[in-house]
Amino acid sequence: MTTADITADGTGEITEVTEIFRRVLESPDLAPDADFFAAGGDSLLATRVLSAVARAYSVELTFDDFLLAPTPRALARLIAGGDR
């Protein structure tokens, strides 16, 4: 990992990942437990989230990873556990 601020349980990432979701979905009130796809996201918008995550944390996730962790909280946990 080249970018710092990755905490063991993902709490540090939840705020930032929620912000990424909000920006991509143009939904300023989105909650950390909101499902990306239920909130209007699709596979193309998901690539924007994954690009933003790659930039912020130098963690390259795939669409399949994202399908298993489609909320900011779950994705933050995945990033924090990110040994990929």
Partner 1 sequence: MPDEAPPATGPQRPLPEQFTAIARARPERTAIVHNGHEIGYGALADRVRRAARRLGPRPGRVPVDAVHDPETVVRLLGTWLAGGTYVPIDPAYPAERRAAMLAAVEPAVLRQAGEPAVLRQAGEPAIPRQGGALAYILFTSGSTGVPKPVLTSPAAIATTVGALRDLFGITPDDRVLQFASLNWDTCFEEILPALTAGAALVFDDDAYAGSFPKFVRMLERERITIADLPTAYWHELVNFLVEEDRRLPATLRTVIIGGEAARPARLADWSTLDTGRIRLVNTYGCTETTLITHAVDLCGPLATEAVDWSAATRVPIGRPLPHVVQRIDDETGELWIGGPAIADGYAAPDLAERFTRHDGQRFFRTGDRVRRRDDGVLVHEGRADDVLKIRGVRVDPGEVEAHLAAHPAVGAVAVAGLARGDHTILAAFVVPRRSARTETAAGTGTAAGTEAAAGTETLAADLVQYLKGRVPAHLVPSRISLVAELAYTPSGKVDRRRIKETLA
Q: Which residues bind partner 1 (CB under 8 A)?
A: 26, 37-38, 40-48, 50-51, 54-55, 60-64, 66
Nearest approach in angstroms of CB 35 to partner 1 is 9
**Neighbour tally for 59: CB within 10 Å:** 22
17 and 53 in contact (C-beta within 8 Å)?
A: yes
- Give CA 42 to chain center in angstroms: 14
Nearest approach in angstroms of CB 5 to partner 1 is 20
Whichever of 9 and 35 has its CB closer to partner 1, that residue is: 35
